[in-house]
Structures are given as C-alpha cells and as structure tokens.
Amino acid sequence: MHAVDDMDRKLLRILQDDPDLSTARLAEEVGLSAGACWRRIERMEAAGIIRGRETVINWRALGYEVEVYLRITLDKTETNAFDSFIRAARDVPEVTRLETLLGRVDIRMDIRARDLAHYQEIYKDRILTLPHILDIEALMLVSELKHSESLPI
C-alpha cells in the first residue's frame, strides 16, 4: 500500500473542497513549490489514490424529476439468485447504481426516471420482471441535504 504523509493529506483536504484549484494556487496554500506540489499530485494519481474527478449534474434540470432507491431481498433458496439477479439488473438502463449489502436487505439499487408515470413503467416492466425477488422496499428521494465524496482525512 502506498503511504500518504501529512502533506499529502493536507493537499487532498484542500482539493476535496475545491477540485478546480490550480496546482500553483494549491502549492501556495501549503507552502510548497509548484513543481513539488505537482509531483505529489502526480504520484497520488499514479498510485490510484486520486482516482479522478467527477462531474456533478443537476438531473432535475435535465428532466429527471424522480429518484427512487429500491432495497431488495432475494430468494436465497435459489442457488444462483445473486448472480442471475445482478446480471439482469445491470442491463436495465435506468438502474444507475447497483450494490450488494450485508444486513436486512441483499441488494440496493438507484433508479432515475423522468416522472412518476415513467417510474411506474420502469418498475412494472423492468424491475418486477427481474428474477428471484422475494421482497422490495422503495424509498423515494424528497431532497438531498448533503452529497459529498469527501473523506475525513
């Protein structure tokens, strides 16, 4: 494992808050030369510690008003329940995220739809037809108060 030191952590903390900060400004803030700062960032990118940057999109502005999180319990008496469920669910384009969990439910997935009618259509035609479902619980997003990828480093 690649070790990060206090200076690396400082750089990451600043970049987490402001990912668009230029290397020159970043260097200034931590008191490094621009070259030294750039090399540290490069090293953390090469080591896969910094995986990249992601664009944050306002899906509502694009006409996607509905976001639903489905929590699914699978019929585990079926030997291949997980594999065949995941394979089929992955192919549903409106499923944006699919995760396996340890807890009361087995699977969690995110669905994004244009409106409730569209969601209902996806649910009926593409979700309920997935294999080995025992139970489904739905949580519908009302508002998002915090969404950060920042780590408490």
Partner 1 sequence: MSDDGARIDLDETDRKILRELLRDGSLAAGAVGRRVGLSQPAAWRRIKRLEAAGVILGRRLVLDREKLGFGVTVFLGVKLAARGRVSLEDFERAVAAIPEVQIVQHVLGVYDYRLRVVARDLADFERILRRRIMTLPGVGDVESNVLLSVEKDAPGLV
> Per rule CB under 8 A, is residue 117 in the interface with partner 1?
no
> Per rule CB under 8 A, is residue 36 in the interface with partner 1?
no
Q: How long, in residues, is the chain?
A: 153
Tokens 């439910």 sit at which residue?
105
Out of 50, 73, 121, 131, the residue judged to bind partner 1 by CB under 8 A = 50
> Per rule CB under 8 A, is residue 58 in the interface with partner 1?
yes
How many whole angstroms separate alpha carbon 10 and alpha carbon 24? 15
Q: How far is the CB of 87 from partner 1 (least distance, A)?
A: 9
Out of 5, 22, 117, 142, the residue judged to bind partner 1 by CB under 8 A = 142
How many whole angstroms separate alpha carbon 114 and alpha carbon 33? 49
Tokens 């065949």 sit at which residue?
84
> Per rule CB under 8 A, is residue 19 in the interface with partner 1?
yes
Q: Residues touching partner 1: how many (CB under 8 A)?
A: 64
CA dihedral 73, 75, 81, 85 (to 10 degrees): -40
Is 109 within 8 Å of 70 (Cβ atoms)? yes
> Per rule CB under 8 A, is residue 22 in the interface with partner 1?
no
Phi first, then psi: what are they for 15, rounded to 5°?
-65, -30
Using CB under 8 A as the criterion, which residues of the chain lie in contact with partner 1 when the complex forms? 1-2, 4, 12, 15-16, 19-20, 47-64, 69, 71, 86, 89-90, 93-105, 108-109, 112, 137-153
